[in-house]
Amino acid sequence: MRDNLMIKRSLPLFILFSITSAVYAADVIEIRPTEGDATQALQQAIDKAASYKGKPVTIRLSPGNYHISREAASKHLYHISNTASIEENPDQTKHIGLWFRGLKNVTLDGNGAWIITHGEMTSFVIDDCSGIRLENFTLTAADPSVPEMKILTVDANSMTVEITSPSQFDIVDGDFNWKGEGWHFAEGARPTIYPEFAQVFYPETNMTLRCDSPLKGRKYARQLADNIIQFFYDNTPDVHAGEVYQMRHGIRNEACAFINLSKDIALNNIEFNFLGNFGLVGQYSENLTYDNIRCRPRLGSGRTDAGFADFIQMSGCKGKIKIMNSYFEGAHDDPINIHGTHLKAVGSEGNNKITVRFMHGQTYGFQPFFKGDDVEIVNRHTLNCVMPAKVKAVTPIDDYTFELTLDRNLPTLSAGTTLDDLAVENVTWTPEVEIRNNYFSRIPTRGILITTRGKSVIEDNTFYRLPMPSILVSDDARGWYESGPVHDLTIRRNLFIECGSPVIAILPEYDRFDKPIHHDIEIVDNRFIMKKDETAISIRGAANIVVNNNVFDMPNSIKNVSEDSFVEATDTSDLKVYGNQVVATH
Query: Tell me: the pLDDT tens digits for 33-54?
Result: 988 999 999 999 999 999 999 9
Instruction: Kindly report the pTM of this predicted structure.
Output: 0.94
Angle (CA) 478 570 504, round 5°: 75
Judged against a pLDDT cut of 80, whether residue 333 lies above it is answered with yes
Judged against a pLDDT cut of 60, whether residue 11 lies above it is answered with no
Judged against a pLDDT cut of 90, whether residue 416 lies above it is answered with no
What does the alpha-carbon distance between residue 111 and residue 88 come to, in Å, rounded to a whole number? 38
Q: Which residues contact 91 (CB under 8 A, 6 or more apart)?
A: none
Burial environment of residue 375 by CB neighbours within 10 A (0 to 12, 13 to 18, 19 or more): buried
The answer to whether 342 and 357 are in contact (CB under 8 A) is no
**Whole-number pLDDT of residue 189:** 65
Residue-averaged pLDDT of the chain: 93
Integer-rounded Cα Rg, in Å, for the chain is 25
Q: Which residues contact 158 (CB under 8 A, 6 or more apart)?
A: 230, 231, 232, 233, 237
Instruction: Tell me the DSSP string of 110-172.
Output: EEEEEEEEESS-EEEEEES-EEEEEEEEEEEESS-SS-EEEEEEE-SSEEEEEEPTT-EEEEE
Judged against a pLDDT cut of 90, whether residue 214 lies above it is answered with yes
Judged against a pLDDT cut of 70, whether residue 514 lies above it is answered with yes
* Amino acid present at 107: T
In three-state secondary structure terms, 287 is strand
DSSP secondary-structure letter at 285?
Answer: -
- pLDDT confidence bin for 444, thresholds 50/70/90: very high
Instruction: Tell me the DSSP string of 168-205.
Output: EEEEETTEEEEEETTEEE-SSSS--S---EEEEEETTT
The answer to whether 279 and 184 are in contact (CB under 8 A) is no
Task: Give me the phi and psi of 42, to 5 degrees please.
Answer: -65, -40
Listed residue (585, 569, 487, 488) closest to 527, CA to CA: 585
What does the alpha-carbon distance between residue 467 and residue 105 come to, in Å, rounded to a whole number? 41
The pLDDT tens digits for 527-547 are 999 988 899 999 999 999 999
The pLDDT tens digits for 168-188 are 999 999 999 999 999 999 876
Q: Which residues contact 402 (CB under 8 A, 6 or more apart)?
A: 343, 355, 356, 357, 367, 368, 369, 394, 395, 396
